[in-house]
Amino acid sequence: MAIDTADPVTGPIDIPPSGRGRGRGAGRILRAVVGVDEDLMDRVPEERPKYTRQGALVVATAAMAAVSMGYAVFDVFDAPWPVIAGLALVWGVLIGILDSWLVISLNGVTGRGRRRLLLPRLLISAVVGVIIAEPLTIRVFEPTIVQRIGEDQQKADKDLLSAYLSCHSPAGAPGAVSIACENYRLPVAAPNDTGSLTTKQRELGRLETTIKRTEGIWTGKQRLARLECAGEGGSESGFSGLVGEGPRCARLTREAEDYEQSSGIQQMYARRAALNEEIGRLTDTARDSGKDYDAAVVAAAEKEVARQQRNRPSRPDLLKKIETLNVLSAEKPAVLLGHIFLTLLFLLIDCSPVLTKLLSRPTMYDLRLAVLLSDRADAHDTQLRRTKRRRRNRDDLDAHRQDLVVRRGMADASREAGIEDAMREAQARKRLDDR
């Protein structure tokens, strides 16, 4: 189609603008978002709905960005709603301005360089889309994420309670000596001193050994006396072989009795009975004290776990949710697929203003705008050349005028010099005539 231009500055005028369909409502505002020239659009009114929808895409993307930022700010900062709404609005406006610039910078771009200009803008839009998509994806999976975070916290609380209890042995058991238990000490007093019980038990053990050894010797002496008195030993074993209480029987019996007295076996029996009674009493005391100690350890451990629960944020922050979503994605293929598809969906929505340019051919509006911009560039170049030429001519004229002034000055100076020479010559001749 041939396009005639009456003025290179105003652009093509092959079809007179009608002004119909402009309006002053939302459609014109949406087209203004993507930089539509309504005067030029009057020449291709069939393109008006397309650019209206393109402007709506930019506004929708900005609104989605505002919602995403509002949710992110709500998770990160404990701020009142007006502040959150203000920050979300500012972010939405910035994204709207960015997307608007990405689209406007492509208006009127035709030819082979179109895709080369589109790809960097699509990359910028994709980066922004990822930033916008993540909070919205988190919001979709929030119930599952919050449930998993709660389960992880419960498990962490159980593990912490178990660590505290394992690092405080029950009463009477050997104390924990692991280096890892240094971080799990509780302010609980040790149970009542069981050293006396341990001492008594050790004393009883030594006493039992002594009694056993002493009883062995004493029992042996009693056996020798009993065999001698019963005449059962036999002369070959050193016994008399006579039944009755003879000298040997009396001697062996006396030796057994003397050993009983000298060894203190009866006192040992009495001491053993006393130790058993005392150990029984101390065991009952230690058992009661141990119960109190174990109960105190459990109470202190539960109190420490509760304190850490109170120090925990009332709601998980955005980074915790992102981390949990990644864990769920690694564990559950369904969550992974949902995460990927939702992210791609939000990413496509954010890239849609630029994608519409990439996937569609240049419109008639783009072609006419390209011609208009080219005409305006040519007109501006022509005006610059004319201005440059006028400036150069003016400079040449000024130089010529200056040259004329110099020449006139030189001519006047030469004429005045000739007059002075003639006057001096006339005076000299007059003086000669006077002589």
Q: Is the pTM of this model over 0.85?
A: no
Q: In this predicted structure, what is the pLDDT of residue 40? A: 84
The pLDDT of residue 12 is: 43
Q: Are the C-beta atoms of 129 and 347 separated by less than 8 Å?
A: yes
pLDDT of residue 117: 67
Give, for 211, the enclosing helix (H) or strand (E). helix 195-230
For the chain, give the mean pLDDT: 78
The alpha carbon of 64 is separated from its chain's Cα centroid by a whole number of angstroms, namely: 22
Give the pLDDT score at 143: 86
| Calculated CA dihedral for residues 225, 227, 233, 235, nearest 10 degrees | 40
CA distance 65 to 258: 106
Instruction: Give the per-residue pLDDT at 342.
Output: 83
Mean pLDDT, residues 292-314? 77
Query: Which residue type occupies 152?
Result: D
Q: What is the pLDDT of residues 216-230, one digit of tens each?
A: 888 888 887 777 777
Q: What distance in Å separates the CA atoms of residue 170 and residue 253, rounded to the nearest whole number?
A: 53
More confident residue, 34 or 287: 34
More confident of the two residues 167 and 210: 210
According to the model, what pLDDT value does residue 176 have? Answer: 45
Could you tell me what percent of the chain has a pLDDT over 90? 1
Mean pLDDT value of segment 271-293: 71
Round to whole Å and give the CA distance between 424 and 401. Answer: 35
- The mean per-residue pLDDT over the stretch 149-164 comes to 85
Q: What is the pLDDT of residue 90?
A: 92
Q: CA 138, CA 57: separation in Å to the nearest integer?
A: 23
pLDDT above 50: residue 173: no
Mean pLDDT of 384-405: 88
* 78-89 tens-digit pLDDT: 778 888 889 889
> How far does Cα 333 stand from its chain's mean position?
23
Provide the pLDDT for residue 284: 65
CB 301 within 8 A of CB 164: yes
In this prediction, residue 258 carries a pLDDT of 82
Residue 137 confidence (pLDDT) above 80: yes
Which residue would you say has higher pLDDT here, 17 or 92? 92
Asked if residue 327 lies in contact with residue 145, where contact means CB atoms within 8 angstroms, the answer is no
Higher confidence at residue 172 or residue 129?
129
Tell me how far apart the terminal alpha carbons of the chain are, to the nearest angstrom: 102
Q: How far is CA 167 from CA 154, 179, 260, 389, in A?
A: 20, 10, 51, 95
Q: Where does 231-332 have alpha helices with state H?
A: 247-263, 265-311, 318-331
| pLDDT tens digits, one per residue of 28-74 | 888 888 888 888 888 888 888 888 888 898 898 889 888 888 888 88
Task: Name 11's bridge partners.
Answer: 7
CB atoms within 10 A of CB 313: 8
Given a cut of 50, is residue 408 above it in pLDDT? yes
SS3 at position 241: coil
Question: What residue spans define the domains of the chain?
Answer: 26-147+321-373, 195-290
Give, in order, the Cα–Cα distances in Å from 342 to each of 64, 92, 347. 14, 20, 8
pLDDT at residue 398 is higher than 80: yes
**Which has more pLDDT, 170 or 276?**
276
pLDDT at site 11: 43
For 228-257, write each residue's pLDDT tens digit.
777 766 654 566 666 667 777 878 788 888
The answer to whether 99 and 132 have CB atoms below 8 angstroms apart is no
pLDDT of residue 300: 79
Model confidence pLDDT, tens digit, residues 316-347:
777 888 888 888 888 888 888 888 888 888 88
pLDDT tens per residue across span 106-121 = 777 776 666 666 677 7
**DSSP 8-state code for residue 11:** B
